[in-house]
Structure 1
Amino acid sequence: MTQSNKYKYKVVVLLIILSVFPIHVLAASNELDIPAKSAIAVDFDTGKILYEKNSSEVLPIASMTKLISAYLVYESVKTGKISWNDSVPFDDTLIKMTENPDLSNIPIKKELTYTVEDSLKAMLISSANVSTTGLARLISGTEQAFVDQMNLKVDEWGIKDAHFISASGLDTQDLPKEDRYPNSKDDDANMMSAKSMVIVAKHLITDYPEVLDITKQSHYTLFQGTKDEQTYWSSNLMLPDLYYYTKGVDGLKTGTTPNAGACFIGSTVQDGHRIITVVMNVDEKYSRFEVTKNILKHIETYWEYQEVNKAGSNAIVEKADVPNGKVETVPLIIKNSSSLWVNKQTSELKQVFNQKNDKLSAPLKKNVIVGQQVTTDINDKLGYLDQKDTGQATSDVMTKTDVLKANIFVRAWRSIKNSIK
């Protein structure tokens, strides 16, 4: 990521611009018009896509790359390949890179020891490129070998649109010659779609949820209590004490290069649901954080996670036949609640009952599962992150009461009546 501190000094100008060029929610609809090449918002738990714009388009991802690098750091610690207290090596070339004001870094002093934990914080909070390269070299020997691991990892996750040439997200032209990926051109960049970035975030947070303890920090301090003590601030301005603070935001990563423009992948707990947002190549007249806030507001306004099948309520098919029962039908109720993301303006719910046993026989106990009630939104056009997910809210349907078996005379009489019919 190239230096993002410049954004902190453009806040006043940006506010004036935003008042002239507002981000629109189109009148009389729930469509959101955002100034970004690509964007997506996904519910973390269900994979429901709540907003998208060109989310499959493959674009430069800049320092959002560091989430894949972070995953490999956590994985290497878990397997014992490295430990949190290991020293990260920085040669003279990398130390010299930290003096480049156009690149995001923290100062590296040769006489100081920077641990894996220190460097991970610098990578995720300050977007420090040199810290990322140092970690890559420690884990894999060379940055090129680490990039190969990155490619293998995303392939393991089913991501097919990724192209990596660096561990940090820097383009080839910004890398030291010894770290340039073989056969890469000067303008080569790490590439991926917004949709695939969400998959990365889901794997990282699911497998290593402790990453949020780092990404939620608005600042951190190295060498605390010594003459070298220094506090560094996050590039994510949606965190507490920063300009675009938004309640519930606890990550994840900014990204900025000339090729990528301003990018941001966010993690926000809103109304009890973790929402992963991605905005890529945001128009320079706008803030990526303001665009993200508008997406979150759009979701809050137009979407709700609705209980569509309520435990204990009557099933849509309220009773089932029990031909040999003392009573010939048994009431049916929902066993377990299930919910669905519903658009308040456009959703149209369809419910069906799938009976697995249409020949119930007495004696019959209550709470016997007889089928399932399935609810879908037939107007849903956005779908789910996993394309195989049909977006169904499914609940078991069970008998509400016991049904005793009718005596032989009653059964015989019913048989006669049925034969006459």
Structure 2
Amino acid sequence: MLLTGLTASLVPVQPAQAATASSSKAKVKSVRKAKPAPRSPRKVAARAAAPAREVIPSKPSFGTMYGLHDTEDPLDLKSSVAYVVDQDTNEVLFSKNPSAVLPIASITKLMTALLVVEANQSLDEKLEITDEDKDTEKFTGSRLAIGTELTRGELLHLALMSSENRAAHALGRNYPGGLEAFVAAMNAKARALGMMDTHYVEPTGLSSRNQSSAADLAKLVKVAHAFPLIRELSTSSEYTVALGRRQVRFGTTNGLVRKGDWDIGLQKTGFINEAGQCLVMQAQLAGRKLIMVFLDSAGKYSRIGDAERVRKWLTGAASPLAGVATGTSAATTSAVIPAVSAK
């Protein structure tokens, strides 16, 4: 398959012509530059004596450590794992390391939302963010201060759209039986859905021990898509909530939601160093309802780029969708690696 790209040419910008003075008597005002403040000898000496700060590199992703990025594929995707399947027929259109078990980061929140919706808990009930909802795994911050009170529906919205960790944790903590019962329910639901390579230890995805495979996550997306509330909240582009006396706007973590040329029915993003950039989506392309899974993508925007590459392929002349009737086979590539299960 030949993949063509676009080349961009840079046109030098011509400098603007200086304006001429209309009269020889025009006065030019001079601007004095402020003198820099004198440096303190003590501070200069202290800086010179101070040791250079050590630059600590980020942890490599599990996919990098397992060599999954060495797997070649015809679309040259930046994700070490990719999976595209027809939602209605279960026909696999693209497959790259679909059975590799990796950390899934905030894709976890899709299971969190599914359990909350299925439990039929009141979406209008006020829940409080407490110290228990602080991130003790990665020590990340949050715009939801301790003591914030929002409804369960608002927290669900922020968890799905903005991937708010404290919101997701509070949802799990307020599940019948508490957080421990919630995590047990997450794993029980995974087994019920046939997600045998999946394991959860908490409801946010901050832990690298929350792990799954692309094939498993496609099953989760298919089930979650059946709930209109999850579809609506996950594909919302922005949402404003009252935090005390302030109205605070939150936005989606998936830039494709704002693009008018995508028909996305459900989505969830995720990122921690161990997982890389992750993305799951349900979208309509070429008249088909498709589920896409991208795990361990290298680069801040690479998961979005991979989704665009897949869309270009599926809507182009070489698309397997055009040759389904004639038996065109799907693109499949995989590496032989051991599955890594969370413990």
- Per the normalisation by structure 1, the TM-score is 0.57
Equivalent runs, 1:4-153 vs 2, <5 Å: 31-77=74-120, 82-94=121-133, 96-97=134-135, 103=140, 105-110=142-147, 112-153=148-189
Relative distance call for 1:137 and 1:101 in structure 2 (3 A) is closer
Relative distance call for 1:382 and 1:153 in structure 2 (3 A) is farther
Give the aligned partner of residue 41 of structure 2: none
Give the aligned partner of residue 314 of structure 1: none
Question: 1:252 corresponds to which letter in structure 2?
Answer: Q
Shift of 1:293: 0.9
Give the aligned partner of residue 329 of structure 2: 380
Question: 1:216 corresponds to which letter in structure 2?
Answer: T
Matched, 1:216 2:235: yes
Give the aligned partner of residue 309 of structure 2: 294
Report the Cα distance in structure 2 between the residues aligned to 1:101 and 1:250, rounded to whole angstroms: 31
Give the aligned partner of residue 213 of structure 2: 193
Report the Cα distance in structure 2 between the residues aligned to 1:71 and 1:92, rounded to whole angstroms: 25
Relative distance call for 1:87 and 1:32 in structure 2 (3 A) is same
Could you list the runs of 5+ residues in structure 2 that have no partner in the other structure?
Answer: 1-7, 9-72, 333-343
SS in 1 for 2:284: strand
Give the aligned partner of residue 369 of structure 1: none
Matched, 1:303 2:319: yes
SS in 1 for 2:119: helix
Measured against aligned partners, the alpha-carbon deviations of 1:164-213 in whole angstroms (never above 9, x if no partner) come to 11111111xxxxxxxxxxxxxxxx5211001110100001112x133111
Report the Cα distance in structure 1 between the residues aligned to 2:301 and 2:255, rounded to whole angstroms: 14
Relative distance call for 1:104 and 1:169 in structure 2 (3 A) is farther
Give the aligned partner of residue 249 of structure 2: 231
Report the Cα distance in structure 2 between the residues aligned to 1:236 and 1:381, rounded to whole angstroms: 27
Shift of 1:295: 1.0
SS in 2 for 1:114: strand
Give the aligned partner of residue 279 of structure 2: 264
Give the aligned partner of residue 370 of structure 1: none
Shift of 1:273: 2.2
- Asked whether the equivalents of residues 36 and 280 of structure 1 are also in contact (C-alpha less than 8 Å), the reply is yes
SS in 2 for 1:67: helix
Cα RMSD of the aligned pairs, angstroms, is 2.8
Report the Cα distance in structure 2 between the residues aligned to 1:106 and 1:233, rounded to whole angstroms: 12
Shift of 1:101: 9.5
Relative distance call for 1:262 and 1:305 in structure 2 (3 A) is closer
Shift of 1:104: 6.7
Larger radius of gyration: 1
With a CA cutoff of 8 Å and minimum separation of 6, indicate the structure with the bigger relative contact order: 2
Report the Cα distance in structure 1 between the residues aligned to 2:117 and 2:171, rounded to whole angstroms: 11
**Larger fraction in strand:** 1
Shift of 1:105: 3.8
Relative distance call for 1:381 and 1:215 in structure 2 (3 A) is closer
Relative distance call for 1:304 and 1:35 in structure 2 (3 A) is closer
Question: 1:63 corresponds to which letter in structure 2?
Answer: S
Shift of 1:106: 3.4
- Which of 196, 200, 203 is the matching residue for 1:167? 203
Measured against aligned partners, the alpha-carbon deviations of 1:9-56 in whole angstroms (never above 9, x if no partner) come to xxxxxxx9xxxxxxxxxxxxx932212110011121211111111111
Question: 2:214 corresponds to which letter in structure 1?
Answer: A
Give the aligned partner of residue 415 of structure 1: none
Question: 1:221 corresponds to which letter in structure 2?
Answer: T
Report the Cα distance in structure 2 between the residues aligned to 1:382 and 1:247, rounded to whole angstroms: 22
- Which of 192, 198, 201 is the matching residue for 1:156? 192
Q: How many residues align?
A: 261
- Asked whether the equivalents of residues 190 and 198 of structure 2 are also in contact (C-alpha less than 8 Å), the reply is yes
Matched, 1:277 2:287: no
Question: 2:319 corresponds to which letter in structure 1?
Answer: W
**Fraction of identical pairs, as percent:** 27
